[in-house]
């Protein structure tokens, strides 16, 4: 799809397909956050420290599998963002309109809140743990870490899902995206939780009322996502693709 920067509502934006994309992002984000945050609560029930006895590996695995599934089930409708930083990367590259990006962000945040509420209810009132910067890690360091991790994630999304020259690798895009999420959690999980996703941090923070360092999980990922979109779109994609307007990571483009 050619780059476009639309700042007003278009006929496409109010089309029923856009509403389906909103619902898809909402449900998929809820699925992902429920699994990602739920894994932390499950580990915490077994151990006081969620990072001991293989807890970090379990957390990484839960994030990787859940995000791969979330991307897969939204691909046909919204392109499989499930992350405000990925949406911003697509917006920075001119792959979606401003209106659609705002709609996706709203769906992702609401889905995250729903997941946290459902976890609180289904666990008998366990307060969501959310994410926080580890003791001894500077806030600025955490922002840089989140930025780097998210850059890698969004770069992978572009290379496997948005690049018109991706070829057959697009068939396994959700799996590869899940892999980078899991790998990044192994790298950054013990430092700041490795959110790479403001929606992942927002719902648990709101329901569990744990706002410490929360700004880190917005600044870092959004900067990393936007930078990755700009770098890949304008430095690596050299030709205008002949694909339809709607850019999807999913099967319809494979």
Average pLDDT across the chain, whole number: 88
Residue 40 has pLDDT above 80, yes or no: yes
| pLDDT reported for residue 166 | 83
Q: Span 96-110, mean pLDDT?
A: 95
Per-domain residue ranges for the chain?
Answer: 16-242
- CA 171 from centre of chain: 19
pLDDT-based confidence at residue 168 (cuts at 50, 70, 90): confident
Predicted local distance difference test score (pLDDT) of residue 18: 86
Q: Provide the pLDDT for residue 165.
A: 85
Distance, CA of 157 to CA of 170 (rounded, Å): 10
pLDDT band at 246 (very low <50, low <70, confident <90, very high): very low
Was domain 16-242 assigned CATH 3.10.28.10? no
Q: Using CA atoms, how far apart are residues 138 and 212, in angstroms rounded to an integer?
A: 13
pTM listed for this prediction? 0.87
Q: Are 130 and 49 in contact (CB under 8 A)?
A: no
Q: Work out the pLDDT band at 244, boundaries 50, 70, 90.
A: very low
Please tell me the predicted confidence (pLDDT) of residue 14. 54
- Taking residues 204-226, report their average pLDDT: 96
Q: CA 167, CA 82: separation in Å to the nearest integer? A: 23
């Amino acid at each position: 799809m050619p780059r476009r920067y639309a700042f007003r509502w278009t006929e496409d934006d109010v089309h029923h397909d856009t509403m389906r994309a909103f619902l898809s992002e909402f449900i998929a984000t809820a699925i992902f956050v429920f699994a990602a945050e739920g894994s932390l609560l499950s580990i915490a029930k077994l151990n006081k420290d969620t990072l001991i006895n293989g807890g970090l590996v379990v957390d990484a695995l839960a994030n990787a599998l859940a995000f791969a599934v979330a991307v897969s089930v939204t691909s046909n409708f919204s392109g499989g963002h499930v992350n405000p930083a990925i949406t911003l990367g697509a917006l920075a590259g001119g792959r979606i309109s401003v209106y659609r990006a705002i709609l996706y962000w709203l769906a992702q945040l609401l889905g995250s809140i729903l997941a946290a509420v459902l976890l609180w209810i289904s666990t008998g009132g366990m307060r969501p743990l959310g994410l926080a910067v580890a003791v001894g890690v500077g806030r600025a360091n955490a922002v840089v870490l989140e930025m780097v991790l998210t850059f890698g994630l969004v770069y992978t999304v572009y290379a496997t899902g948005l690049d018109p020259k991706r070829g057959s690798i697009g068939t396994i895009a959700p799996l590869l995206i899940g892999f980078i999420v899991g790998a990044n959690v192994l790298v950054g999980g013990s430092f700041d939780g490795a959110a790479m996703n403001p929606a992942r941090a927002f719902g648990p923070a709101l329901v569990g009322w744990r706002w410490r360092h929360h700004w880190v999980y917005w600044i870092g990922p959004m900067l990393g996502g936007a930078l990755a979109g700009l770098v890949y779109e304008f430095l690596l994609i050299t030709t205008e693709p002949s694909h339809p307007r709607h850019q999807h990571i999913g099967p319809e483009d494979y």
